Chain A
Amino acid sequence: MDKKQKMQELRVFAAEIRLETLKVIASRGFGHVGGSMSMADAMAVLYGEVMNIDPKNPRWEDRDWFVLSKGHGGPVMYATLGLKGYYPMESAYTLNQPNTKFPSHTDRTMTPGVDLTTGSLGQGMSEAVGAALGNKIQGKSSHVFVAIGDGEADEGEIWEAAQFAAHYQLDNLICLVDDNKRQLDGAVADVMSHGKGIGAKFDAFGWDVINVEDGNDVEQIYDAVQEAYKTKNKPIALILNTKKGKGATFAEPSGAHSSQPTQEQWDEAIAAAEAALAEIRGK
């Protein structure tokens, strides 16, 4: 398959993830739409092309790992893993219902394909660093991908983990920063700004930093990962310039962290996501 075809497939996969993410959250009527939707394209690239995985054997020991440190993005992960066949997609529609295997924040003890438990922001980053070191000393050639939010980067633990990863030269660790410019209480710039920028911070901590101008473009994300693979002896941060709520008609304009739209708004958003998928498939 040539790259053009491959990218077309990833665009379709991202549109499918967006539609399913909306349907998963719509099954409860409310949830973390914003930070799920901004991640859809990165999830498509990772699970659609980049990662070495086996959905029938989620804990395959030579797999690539993925840690959603911004654990509230659970629905986008459930949509992605369901579409990849880790479990029947419909089972994710039990999101947050009693005894579900699909809790609000990702949980390694519950959901097939979830490698580490997250929810207390910052912790997934340290866990991912530990997994990268653990895999490395056991001679694995696999990679660990970790996704953090720009709001999450307020947490000191992110930077403790960053210095550890650089010190131990974890070039099998790739951190995707979902730089969607929004956190719960508003714009990151207003709530808690990042000085010279998150990329500058990672650079200062000794990481290789790759800026992805459009973090909602699968080709740019794919190219950045390929570039990251070339780095030796350093962890790599991909700064994904994303839009919070991307593709959710009720959430994208406001960049809301969580949403509880009306049924009418849900219907409109799902119809729009279906139309977007049909349009991309038609290309």
Chain B
Amino acid sequence: MSYTLIGKHEKDSRANRDGYVSAMLELMEQDSSMVHIDCDLMGCINTGKLQKAFPNQTFNAGIAEQNAMGVAAGMAATGLKVFIHSFGCFAARRAFDQAFLSAGYSRLPVHVIGSDPGVCAAFNGATHMPFEDCALYMTVPNAIVIDSCDYAQTYALTKQLAKQPEISYMRLIRKGFTTVYADGSDFEIGKGVTLRDGTDVTIIASGILVDEALKAEEALAAKGVSARVIDMHTWKPLDEELVIKAARETGAIVTAENHQVSCGLGSAVANVLVENCLVPQERVGIQNRFGQVGPQDFLMKEYNLTAEDIVAAAEKAIARKA
């Protein structure tokens, strides 16, 4: 695992989805057993490029996610390595029984890509805004669950997922968001990345909250508070060792996620703290609410997903230290 942090809070010039597509183009070229299935959303994540380059490895299942998931499992049983995409809301909620049984319980390598996670669904609104997609997949024994943050990370983790023998779910931010990492950065599934070291509090974030966490660290530093920042791209299996170390060394934890805190990263971290090292924890994320329509920056403020919210949570967690 070697990575280069850019972290200048600049908008990525590339669409994040192209991190996935670039990795898949290379994987399909190298291995004819790599397959992509889409559900009439190729136009949304540019997988038309895969269909053009590898028509025998790319299939459109139409607007029928439940069947698509079952087809993915059946194809995987014949020795293929199958990626399947829909919007996160449908890839999780709509096709969940199929994901759980046909793929997960059947121990088949089906890799589910859920695009437009949480507030990234923006103008598609509440019906398309999954705050619970990871929660569903985290209930599948052995499943890998990932919330990727940018182009470079999506590219690298797609390559890693292709080697996994059982089901996985990865959230995919569709558009260009913020560049966190330089191209060529590499990551290991299940290993968090300590982006900034610190001693007073640890911010554990993923996805679109990673850049907010970096901004929060800078704001806290200006106030004389030393914050550690961890990019916890893999929610399951969680890097428990890194969580416990952070709790022991900084004595306070803030989690930050684009998902319900009661059944996501915040709760996964809380489970580890309760059993191993009980320290104050504050959870930034969705607090038992449904989604709504609007621009992403509005939604991030509306649901308290900004650097300012992380700073406030960090100060509260530090104040709670015994």
Beta-carbon contact of B71 and A129 below 8 Å: yes
* Proximity bits, A203-222, B CB within 8 Å = 1, else 0: 00000000000000000000
A129 to B73, CA, bound (A): 10
A124-153 with Cβ < 8 A to chain B:
125-135, 137-138
Instruction: Note all chain A residues with C-beta closer than 8 A to B77.
Output: 108, 115-116, 127, 130-131, 134
Contact of A138 among B69, B72, B79 (CB under 8 A): B79
Beta-carbon contact of B106 and A160 below 8 Å: no
Contact of B106 among A109, A132, A138, A167 (CB under 8 A): A109
* Proximity bits, B54-69, A CB within 8 Å = 1, else 0: 0011010110101111
Which of A122, A127, A134, A156: most chain B CB closer than 10 A? A127
Instruction: Note all chain B residues with C-beta closer than 8 A to A160.
Output: 64, 66-67
A123 to B73, CA, bound (A): 10
A119 to B97, CA, bound (A): 11
Contact of B67 among A131, A132, A164 (CB under 8 A): A164
With both beta carbons as reference points, the residue of chain B lying nearest to A158 in the complex is identified as: B67
Beta-carbon contact of B67 and A126 below 8 Å: yes
Beta-carbon contact of B71 and A133 below 8 Å: yes
Beta-carbon contact of B79 and A61 below 8 Å: yes
Instruction: Note all chain B residues with C-beta closer than 8 A to A163.
Output: 62, 64
* Proximity bits, B63-93, A CB within 8 Å = 1, else 0: 0101111111111111110000000000000
Beta-carbon contact of A134 and B74 below 8 Å: yes
Beta-carbon contact of B70 and A157 below 8 Å: yes
Beta-carbon contact of A123 and B102 below 8 Å: yes
Tell me, yes or no, whether B107 is within 8 Å of chain A by CB: yes
**Measured between C-beta atoms, what is the minimum distance from A161 to chain B in Å?**
5
A117 to B61, CA, bound (A): 21
Tell me, yes or no, whether B98 is within 8 Å of chain A by CB: yes
Tell me, yes or no, whether B101 is within 8 Å of chain A by CB: yes
A161 to B69, CA, bound (A): 10
**Measured between C-beta atoms, what is the minimum distance from A85 to chain B in Å?**
23
**Measured between C-beta atoms, what is the minimum distance from A206 to chain B in Å?**
14
Which of A128, A130, A131: most chain B CB closer than 10 A? A130
A117 to B290, CA, bound (A): 35
A127 to B64, CA, bound (A): 14
A135 to B107, CA, bound (A): 19
Instruction: Note all chain B residues with C-beta closer than 8 A to A127.
Output: 70-71, 73-74, 77, 102, 106
A115 to B108, CA, bound (A): 12
Beta-carbon contact of B64 and A131 below 8 Å: no
* Proximity bits, A154-170, B CB within 8 Å = 1, else 0: 00110011011001100
Tell me, yes or no, whether B105 is within 8 Å of chain A by CB: yes
Instruction: Note all chain A residues with C-beta closer than 8 A to B59.
Output: 133, 168
Instruction: Note all chain B residues with C-beta closer than 8 A to A61.
Output: 79
Task: Given A137-B56, A160-B67, decide whether A130 and B101 contact each other with a Cβ distance below 8 A.
Answer: no
With both beta carbons as reference points, the residue of chain B lying nearest to A108 in the complex is identified as: B106
Beta-carbon contact of A134 and B80 below 8 Å: yes
**Measured between C-beta atoms, what is the minimum distance from B130 to chain A in Å?**
21
A281 to B56, CA, bound (A): 50
With both beta carbons as reference points, the residue of chain B lying nearest to A134 in the complex is identified as: B78
Beta-carbon contact of B71 and A126 below 8 Å: yes
Beta-carbon contact of B74 and A133 below 8 Å: yes
With both beta carbons as reference points, the residue of chain A lying nearest to B74 in the complex is identified as: A130
Tell me, yes or no, whether A233 is within 8 Å of chain B by CB: no
* Proximity bits, A166-195, B CB within 8 Å = 1, else 0: 011000000000000000000000000000
B229-260 with Cβ < 8 A to chain A:
none
Task: Given A61-B79, A126-B102, decide whether A120 and B97 contact each other with a Cβ distance below 8 A.
Answer: yes
Beta-carbon contact of A156 and B66 below 8 Å: yes
Instruction: Note all chain B residues with C-beta closer than 8 A to A133.
Output: 59, 71, 74-75
A132 to B59, CA, bound (A): 14
Beta-carbon contact of A131 and B74 below 8 Å: yes
Instruction: Note all chain A residues with C-beta closer than 8 A to B66.
Output: 122, 126, 156-157, 160
A-B contact pairs, 28 of them (CB 8 A): A61-B79, A115-B77, A116-B74, A119-B101, A120-B97, A120-B102, A123-B98, A125-B70, A126-B67, A126-B69, A126-B71, A126-B102, A127-B77, A127-B102, A129-B71, A129-B74, A130-B72, A130-B74, A130-B78, A133-B74, A134-B74, A134-B76, A134-B78, A134-B79, A157-B67, A160-B66, A160-B67, A163-B64
Q: Which 4 A-B pairs have the closest CB atoms?
A: A130-B74, A126-B70, A134-B78, A160-B67
Interface residues in chain A, defined as those with a beta carbon under 8 Å from any beta carbon in chain B = 61, 108-109, 115-117, 119-120, 122-123, 125-135, 137-138, 156-157, 160-161, 163-164, 167-168
Interface residues in chain B, defined as those with a beta carbon under 8 Å from any beta carbon in chain A = 56-57, 59, 61-62, 64, 66-80, 97-98, 101-102, 105-107
16 more CB-based (< 8 A) A-B contacts, given A125-B70, A126-B98, A127-B106: A108-B77, A127-B102, A129-B74, A130-B70, A130-B75, A130-B78, A131-B74, A131-B75, A132-B74, A133-B59, A134-B74, A137-B56, A137-B57, A138-B80, A163-B64, A164-B64
